[in-house]
Amino acid sequence: MSAHGSDRPERVTPGDLDPVIHERVRLGITSLLAARRGVDYVELRNLLEVTDGNLAAHLRVLEKAGYVEVQKAFIDRIPRTTYRLTPPGRKAFARHVDALASLLEGRKKKRGGRTRTSR
């Protein structure tokens, strides 16, 4: 625990980011699943605007890490595959978000509290 009472390490580096989650598509998957109890495959594919093969590959990486679980069911004889974050996946996602926030806070402090605005 840091001196400020949080679970964030005192100094966070980009190396502290979870490489399983940090990739763009996997970050999108985990973000969507963190906000909901579960999301079906077709909705994930459409929201993330990725191909079936691309989505399947990223979901396998997250499954292998134990971050997501799959549930297969039939609804009116139509197969439906739903994904959800596991408890370890939720913890890993929260740690990743905290690490990103710490990196951004550190950057803001280095810039003297100024934020960059678009032109």
pLDDT tens digits, 51-103: 999 999 999 999 999 999 999 999 999 999 999 999 999 999 999 999 999 88
pTM of the model: 0.79
Residue 57 belongs to some domain of the structure: yes
pLDDT band, residue 47 (cuts 50/70/90) = very high
Report the CATH number at residue 53: 1.10.10.10
Residue 50 belongs to some domain of the structure: yes
- Domain containing 74 equals 17-105
Domain count, the chain: 1
For the cut 60, the answer to whether the pLDDT of residue 31 exceeds it is yes
Kindly list the strands in the beta sheet with 39-40, ordered across the sheet, starting from the edge strand earlier in the chain: 39-40, 78-85, 68-75
Q: How many CB atoms lie within 10 A of CB 94?
A: 12
Residue 2 belongs to some domain of the structure: no
Residue 9 belongs to some domain of the structure: no
Q: 117: exposed, middle or buried (C-beta count within 10 Å: 0-12, 13-18, 19+)?
A: exposed
